[in-house]
Structure 1
Amino acid sequence: MKWLKRILFTLLIVVVVAVAAGWLFLFRNKTPNLSNELSLPGLKAPVEAYYDDYGVPHIYAENEEDLFYAFGYVHAQDRLFQMEMLRRLADGRLSEVFGAKALPTDRFFRTLSFRHYARQTIDSVYRKQPQAPFVKAMEAYVKGINAYISTGETPLDFELAKIPKTPFTVEDVEIIQGYMGYGFAEAFRSEAVFTTIAEKWGPAYLKDMAGDWPVDEPMIPTQHTPDPAVVGAAGVLAQVAGRFQALDLPYPPYHGSNGWVISGKKTRSGKPILSNDTHIGFAQPSVWYEAHLNAPGFNFYGSFLAGTPFGALGHSDKGGWGLTMFENDDVDFYREKANPENPGQVWFKDHWENLSVRKETIHIKDSSDVALDVRESRHGILIHDVFDGLKDHRQQPIALWWTYYKFPSRLAEAFYGLAHSSDATEAAAQAAKIHAPGLNIMWGDTKGNIAWWAVARLPKRPAGVRPYVMLDGSTGNDDPVGWYDFSQNPQILNPPRGVLYSANNQPADMGNGLVPGYYVPGDRARRIEQLIFTDKKDWTPQEVRKVINDVTNPEYPLILKDILPLVDRPSADAELLARWSGVHELASTEPTLFYKWIWHIYRLAIQDELGETNFLNTTSFKRNMASFLRNDASPWWDNVHTPAKETRKQILNEAFKAAVADLEAQLGTDRKVWNWEKVHTLEHKHPISVASDLLGRLFNVGPYPVPGGRETINNLDFHIDSTGLYKVTYGPALRRIVDFADPLNGTGCLPTGQSGVVSSEHYKDQAELFASGEARPELMNKEAIVKVAGDRKITFRP
């Protein structure tokens, strides 16, 4: 028997070695070659792409068309799978490779009609100015992607998922930008719940969860010149909201961000310092791809979405900008009145109007095609048609009205223009071109200007219209009556205080009323104000980095001061929270107890009315949580299923006891080991991990214990639920700082790495750097770049 065991053991070793060798061979062939010489037919002159220590390409060309041609190639070489997934997600074509399990997502995004809208944009924007520089650059970029698809190595994840390689088009770029617009629209996640609360439970319940911007919460300062001329289906919509939340998206939506600019009169260098960290759902590869693009008269370092040629944020040697979400409410839902004798008509004012119908076909791998009718009223697409089980509600159809659909998209043109802007005046003209999604653009330049613009086309709504609940589409009384001019948007230029910021909080009134929106709590805004609205006049990038990594929530200690006295018996646990400063360090124990208590308060106070919804994790709940917890008269405290009338004091006490019991069962009775790092972790998941846990172990990055928490500046947020584990779902998708006294040497960091190729050394080489809050250079000086690159250079020849 010993000889048999030896043979089997030897065979096992041979198999393991063979598999390992196969993987190593496969990996070696799939790894991008960063020391290469390639031919790109149609180039006018040679192009050089140098790679720095973190795999960022620095591309030098003699003209812009060659520059963007080469950029398309190198972008695809690192991120082709991500480009493909975003294209298929936005286009409703995941089922072609993942089968019927992707059908609900495909039905939803096919109904959103991004490709239909992209064609309208191309007809009305691109074809009317075919010689415009941004059009030429866009076409060159797409040509570069297709050059890689034709001649480059097929990514490993493409082969594992059996995805065919097909050419990209300008339409594809536009639909990816459409997905960006969807990702910024918080109304998709909140308005259905608000409608349910309003219609089922009434205004007293709604006030606690969807009230106006809370009193005393900080608003983004604005400046303006006053203009005297400017002064039954609820259940269906709730089901639609549940479908929204249940969609399994391979790339999560956008959530928030921080950004601020400090004027040169408050910095050591005498020039503005720009800081930006965009908050987006984590996934692998990282959302942003960094590249440095250089051609005569153009020297730009930017962060790019996969499949897009123009940086959504970045800086040149003259100026630059950061982004946060404006959070304006640019989505409304309308209840239409259907004709009982003709389901193809709805009532408007005094007559029946025909619905338009567009037929779509969804191809499904290993199954039959699915036909889809996209029906549309004057208010928008009938969204309840998307999901199975809701089609019986055609007597109360629900239309989606979205600002994004109302005008051709000029996002590409605007971002191209921003990258070429030399000062705040030029940048403002470009920012005004963006109608959706709503963005805050923070600007700084070498001339010393700092500026902020809330960019979006803002609708004029009739007085009394509440856009955060479902509107009546039959009367016309709830329809927008026009649009504000961009000059009426919240904005500020060179404020006297020398500081401006955005943390997704409510902008102040510009003279036409507060802009309705889904603004986040003022916690981050208050903390930013505490740290940078000071008399300090010698700010440096290093000191700004400390602020961008801050992990203190200043609101939580204030909440605890008001609610802890209601806990019956003084205890060591209550004392622990009473002493808490709101800091979320790895060794902290207080946040572990605090969030568990919040969960049980929610469970006892709200679930009897709303059930197992995800409402606790919406921005609206977070924004109103403090006022709700302090409101002794809120109807939410009473359990509607019991004859007794429960009180706030009862709920807080029962929830606190349950929280302590849960943590003792989860982590033990020693409070010293209830450390935040044990329950708060960050893992970057690759889309392919949905199909296989084994592949997930290969492609995922992490998990890492991380500091920070909910609405700290270092906003590493999570869903609060019954598990007691706070797995980070979104947070900074980059952290970048630029001193415009030295714009050629900014600093930044991505959550994982530049490359989407798992065998690349740059697949996750920034992950630990990111988790620890550190940064690396964003080089723009050619001499330094060439020195760092060594032999890492691709030369493209005609």
Structure 2
Amino acid sequence: MKILKKILIFLILTVLALVGGSYAYLQYLKPSYEGALLLPDLKEKVEVNFDDYGIPHIYAQNEEDLFYAFGYIHAQERLFQMEVLRRLADGRLSEVFGEAAVPSDKFFRTLSFREHAKLTLDSVYKDPSSPFVKAAKAYIKGINHYQKVGKTPIEFTLAGIPKSDFTLEDMEIIVGYMGYTFVGAFKGEPIATDILNRLGADYYHDVMDAWPEGEYKIAVDAKESGALALAKMAKQVNDISDNLPFPPFHGSNGWVISGSKTKSGKPILSNDTHIAFSQPSVWYEAHLECPGFKVYGNFLAGTPVPALGHTDFGGWGLTMFENDDADFFRETLNPSNANQVKYKDTWENMKVRNERIKVKGKSDVLLDVKKTRHGYILNEAFDGLINEKNPIALWWVYHQFPARHLEVFYNICKSKNAGDMGKAVAPLTSPGLNFMWADTTGNIAWWAAGKLPIRPKHVDPEVILDGASGLDDPQGWYPFALNPQILNPQSGVLYTANNQPADMGNGLVPGYYVPANRAKRIGELIINSRTDWTEEEVRKVINDVKSSTYPDMVASIVRGLGGAKLSNAAKENLDLLSKWDGTHGLKNVEPTVFYKVIYQIYKGALEDELGKEVFGDFEHNFSFKRNAAKFFENDTSKWWDNKNTTAIEKRADIFKAGLETASLDLKKQLGDNKQNWQWGKVHTIEHKHPLGILPVVGKLFNVGPIAINGGRETINNLDFMMDSTGTYKVTYGPALRRIVDFGTPRKAFSVNPTGQSGYFMSKHYSDQAQMFAEGGKRPEYTEKTDVMKNKKGTIVMMPL
């Protein structure tokens, strides 16, 4: 008995030692916010002060030291994020995550970001004395030095990821991946072509019109088999996107209010970029300062200059332009040579590149990447499509030019006025971005930047084009002066919410613009006679959760029912919705009912024609979402008739069935007590880490779930996929909410969805999550006296 007791005590002590040792090791891996470092090749002393949210404020004596130090500091918080992102963009996830990542790797190898990066380095980076080139090299050197001497992130150990030096090519492929996430064509054109080819023009125009007449536009200064193959590709692309370890962009809000309308007498800039949520958060904040360079901004992992930011002179925000910068061409293969396609009267050789994808625990996967004059052939990357008779080529503006992103954003950081800013953004090629600008001299401006192709007049870029005839090929490029833009509008306000820009004189720019809901609501709130706007009042707008559009859709349902006889439950729910003002608060019951009802209406109207799989994707399609309100008013649409029944259904029949089915589902899901129907009980947000899928320990890496207000296309845009479950798990929304009053540019305010740190044991991993959910804010310090007052740690870097 004594022996057993001793053995038991020994086992308990061993377990405690292992637990204690593991805990101590995890504590050791926390990022360092105090200490002294010796860095080889550093020229002068650098001081890094961390504020109360773990944000670094880096002070150096020259730019190369500044970016060298920043690379090191950025890597200590986000090295795993950088590593996953470059592997994702390069098609190398399978090396560490195994066979499940092969579809993603095949797709991104085909997009050829590495090849494009080489082109960019050979041209844009050819002058080693260019300040932005020096900055990039110094930043990469900082990342690599951290990899050599810093702590290895726990994710590298758990996933067995080997370390390797970062390069300028890696930085460029990361930028390429972010450009891909903006491409709306992958989700829009396959379904559009399928509807047009299979169902006809009437069906197509009822739900896919480019931009409904009368909808809000951004004001400007005026001066066949192929379809089926592409639809299959689209489904696989959506599956890949849903499981990406780094989130794609989805949209954004941004507006600027002139000093003539603010209490400070200077412009106020507001911006919230909409990105799929993940953990760690997308943006990393930092304040960089040395003689001749000072900026506070938001940085993507692996990039040295901020995509969003402000200085003592001015600041900028961005949203997705949503212009259509990608087309799909149906190529005609030579029956006698699988590496040739027809172009006019000749057979042209495709360029072929052989790729080998290494797969952890499995044999290598071989991939032939083929390219025509129109672009890379996509079929090779997808299951079951290699032998398609008419392969699909991707023509993408991004592939047509060397990338200029780093140069553009570096020059933005140096801009002191609207003139500088306009010159800085002009060289951008792809993806298209809306840049909003405000400065301390009082200017406000907006540019839709990106290369705009001149397409033949007969071309509808929302459907697959013919590669063989040559008649559908782009014919050149519009000059930047014809890009949508405006400087100091008379209204004193400008805004963009991914909606269609107005005509600059060369026609509307084709694109995948989102519904006008947010644009309409922003206009309602900021276009008025008010002249006392403050940061606090603007923050009420950025957190607004009211839809002006959805009550109109409810009114359409009421009119469309035409007095149809309803059950008591359906009557009660319709009466509830009829009194709704569109607010999506945590305690509101109406949103829970509304989304259930419109999902059932969409399902009843569309699923019989589209099929279950296509309907699941189409329900979230931007073109359909922006046409939904108009569609509800169209009582003659062919979509209302259910092809699976002998009867001929009318709009009233689908509305009634949708309302009745939704009422039954709500009762079954949530019970009779409508207190349990509150929006906060079904609408939640969870920030998921790539390792969050691991059993047991995975929960340590995820943040949430947290009940949250907002909804689809409210200004506080917290979107979700709709299905029959009646639960609405947020997929994307604001990746930050930042507001700068240029009366006091050194006292800007922002909030991050979770936290600054990428390490789950850090207190800054999720210290803003609840603040974000509640619509709160915290300061962005740029004045050194403020930084020192709120300093929580200092790292001093000295030359070795």
Instruction: Answer yes or no: same fold by TM over 0.5.
Output: yes
- 1:528–1:713 CA contact under 8 A, matched in 2: yes
Could you give the per-residue CA deviations for residues 482-532 of structure 1, whole angstroms, max 9, x where no partner exists?
100000000000001110010000000000000000000000001000000
Distance 1:12 1:550 in 2: 57
Moved more, 705-714 or 638-647: 638-647
Distance 2:664 2:695 in 1: 32
CA distance 1:640–1:123, change in 2 (3 Å):
same
1:372 aligns with 2:374: no
Q: 1:336 aligns with which of 311, 331, 356?
A: 331
Could you give the per-residue CA deviations for residues 695-735 of structure 1, whole angstroms, max 9, x where no partner exists?
32010001100000000000000001111110000000000
Deviation for aligned residue 1:670: 1.7
Distance 1:452 1:362 in 2: 43
Q: 1:245 aligns with which of 232, 238, 241?
A: 238
Corresponding residue number in structure 1 for 2:605: 605
- 1:34–1:794 CA contact under 8 A, matched in 2: no
- 2:51–2:793 CA contact under 8 A, matched in 1: no
Distance 1:730 1:674 in 2: 23
Corresponding residue number in structure 1 for 2:45: 46
Deviation for aligned residue 1:236: 0.8
- 2:280–2:758 CA contact under 8 A, matched in 1: yes
Distance 1:388 1:198 in 2: 25
Distance 1:254 1:8 in 2: 57
Corresponding residue number in structure 1 for 2:117: 118
Distance 1:11 1:540 in 2: 65
Distance 2:269 2:798 in 1: 34
Distance 1:506 1:615 in 2: 20
Corresponding residue number in structure 1 for 2:426: 432
Matched residue SS, 2:691: helix
- 1:667–1:673 CA contact under 8 A, matched in 2: yes
1:151-162 equivalences under 5 Å are: 151-162=149-160
Distance 2:600 2:721 in 1: 14
Deviation for aligned residue 1:738: 0.5
Corresponding residue number in structure 1 for 2:196: 198
Distance 1:15 1:591 in 2: 54
Corresponding residue number in structure 1 for 2:715: 713
Corresponding residue number in structure 2 for 1:494: 488
Distance 1:775 1:794 in 2: 29
CA distance 1:579–1:15, change in 2 (3 Å):
farther
Matched residue SS, 1:27: helix
Could you give the per-residue CA deviations for residues 448-475 of structure 1, whole angstroms, max 9, x where no partner exists?
1000000010001111210000011111
Corresponding residue number in structure 1 for 2:761: 759
Could you give the per-residue CA deviations for residues 128-148 of structure 1, whole angstroms, max 9, x where no partner exists?
x21100000000000000000
Could you give the per-residue CA deviations for residues 281-325 of structure 1, whole angstroms, max 9, x where no partner exists?
000000000000001022200100000001011001101100100
Could you give the per-residue CA deviations for residues 392-450 of structure 1, whole angstroms, max 9, x where no partner exists?
20x20100000010111000000000011000000100110111001000000011100
Matched residue SS, 1:375: strand
Q: 1:516 aligns with which of 510, 519, 535?
A: 510
1:731 aligns with 2:729: no
Which amino acid letter does the alignment assign opposite residue 525 of structure 2? Answer: L
CA distance 1:10–1:716, change in 2 (3 Å):
farther
Which amino acid letter does the alignment assign opposite residue 59 of structure 2? Answer: Y
CA distance 1:591–1:5, change in 2 (3 Å):
farther
- 1:566–1:653 CA contact under 8 A, matched in 2: no
Corresponding residue number in structure 2 for 1:684: 687
Distance 1:466 1:585 in 2: 41
Corresponding residue number in structure 2 for 1:659: 662
Distance 1:252 1:290 in 2: 18
Distance 1:307 1:163 in 2: 17
Corresponding residue number in structure 2 for 1:623: 626
- 1:685–1:696 CA contact under 8 A, matched in 2: no
Deviation for aligned residue 1:36: 1.0
1:389-408 equivalences under 5 Å are: 389-393=384-388, 395-408=389-402
Which amino acid letter does the alignment assign opposite residue 359 of structure 2? Answer: I
Q: 2:451 aligns with which of 451, 454, 457?
A: 457
Distance 1:666 1:9 in 2: 49
Corresponding residue number in structure 2 for 1:557: 551
CA distance 1:200–1:741, change in 2 (3 Å):
same
Corresponding residue number in structure 2 for 1:267: 262
Corresponding residue number in structure 2 for 1:26: 25
1:164 aligns with 2:157: no
CA distance 1:37–1:223, change in 2 (3 Å):
same
Percent identical residues: 56
1:35 aligns with 2:28: no
Could you give the per-residue CA deviations for residues 536-584 of structure 1, whole angstroms, max 9, x where no partner exists?
0010001000000000010000111111234424611110000000000
- 2:210–2:623 CA contact under 8 A, matched in 1: no
Q: 1:749 aligns with which of 741, 748, 751?
A: 751
Deviation for aligned residue 1:13: 5.6
Q: 2:182 aligns with which of 176, 181, 184?
A: 184
Deviation for aligned residue 1:16: 5.7
Aligned residues: 788
Corresponding residue number in structure 1 for 2:217: 219
Which amino acid letter does the alignment assign opposite residue 781 of structure 1? Answer: E
CA distance 1:638–1:63, change in 2 (3 Å):
same
Moved more, 533-542 or 366-375: 366-375
Corresponding residue number in structure 1 for 2:777: 775
Which amino acid letter does the alignment assign opposite residue 79 of structure 1? Answer: R
Matched residue SS, 1:268: coil
Distance 2:360 2:533 in 1: 57
Which amino acid letter does the alignment assign opposite residue 365 of structure 1? Answer: K
Structure 1 alignment gaps of length 5 or more: 226-231
- 2:251–2:320 CA contact under 8 A, matched in 1: yes
Corresponding residue number in structure 1 for 2:208: 210
- 1:414–1:433 CA contact under 8 A, matched in 2: yes
Matched residue SS, 1:652: helix
Deviation for aligned residue 1:638: 1.4
Distance 2:551 2:425 in 1: 39
1:793 aligns with 2:787: no
Deviation for aligned residue 1:634: 1.2
Structure 2 alignment gaps of length 5 or more: none
Distance 2:212 2:798 in 1: 57
TM-score normalised to the size of structure 1? Answer: 0.97
Corresponding residue number in structure 1 for 2:586: 586
Could you give the per-residue CA deviations for residues 353-411 of structure 1, whole angstroms, max 9, x where no partner exists?
11110111111111111111100110000011111211120x20100000010111000
1:479 aligns with 2:473: yes
Q: Which runs of 4+ in 1 moved over 6 A?
A: 3-12
Distance 1:208 1:331 in 2: 24
Deviation for aligned residue 1:5: 11
Matched residue SS, 1:357: strand
- 1:553–1:583 CA contact under 8 A, matched in 2: yes
Which amino acid letter does the alignment assign opposite residue 123 of structure 1? Answer: D
CA distance 1:6–1:547, change in 2 (3 Å):
farther
Corresponding residue number in structure 2 for 1:416: 410
Deviation for aligned residue 1:679: 0.6
Matched residue SS, 1:547: helix
Distance 2:5 2:779 in 1: 54
Deviation for aligned residue 1:14: 4.5
Matched residue SS, 1:727: strand
CA distance 1:618–1:4, change in 2 (3 Å):
farther
Matched residue SS, 2:624: helix
